[in-house]
Amino acid sequence: MSTLFQPFATQLDFETGKLNPKGKVIIRHLSDMKGMYLDEGEFENQLKKNPLIYEVYNVVVPETMPHIQHCVTILHPGKVGKEYFMTKGHYHEVLDRAEIYFCLKGKGELLMQTKDGEFSSLEMVPGTVAYVAPEWAHRTVNTGEEPFVFFAAYPGDAGHDYGGIETEGFVKALVEQNDKPTYIENPRYIQAVK
Ligand code: PAN
Ligand code: ZN
Q: Is 79 a pocket residue for ligand 1 (Cβ < 6 Å)?
A: no
Please state which CATH number belongs to domain 11-167. 2.60.120.10
Confidence at residue 172, expressed as pLDDT on a 0 to 100 scale: 98
Rounded mean pLDDT of 104-120?
A: 97
Q: What is the pLDDT of residues 85-109, one digit of tens each?
A: 999 999 999 999 999 999 999 999 9
Q: Which atom of ligand 1 is nearest to the CA of 139?
A: 11
Confidence at residue 194, expressed as pLDDT on a 0 to 100 scale: 66
Q: What is the 3-state secondary structure (H, E, C) of the chain?
A: CCCCCCCCCCEECCCCCCEECCCEEEEEEHHHHCCCCCCHHHHHHHHCCCCEEEEEEECCCCCCCCCEEEEEEEECCCEECCEECECCCEECCCCCCCEEEEEEECCEEEEEECCCCCEEEEEECCCCEEEECCCCEEEEEECCCCCEEEEEEEECCCCCECHHHHHHCCCEEEEEECCEEEEEECCCCCCCCC
2 C-alpha to center of ligand 2: Å? 32
Confidence at residue 1, expressed as pLDDT on a 0 to 100 scale: 75
Confidence at residue 132, expressed as pLDDT on a 0 to 100 scale: 98
Question: Of all residues in the chain, what percent carry a pLDDT higher than 90?
Answer: 97
Residue 49: which residues within 8 A CB-CB, separation 6 or more?
none
Mean pLDDT, the chain, integer? 97
> Residue 190: is its pLDDT beyond 70?
yes
Confidence at residue 79, expressed as pLDDT on a 0 to 100 scale: 98
Q: Which atom of ligand 1 is nearest to the CA of 154?
A: 16
pTM for the whole structure: 0.97
Dihedral of the CA atoms 120, 168, 77, 107 (nearest 10)? 10
Confidence at residue 191, expressed as pLDDT on a 0 to 100 scale: 86
> Residue 193: is its pLDDT beyond 90?
no
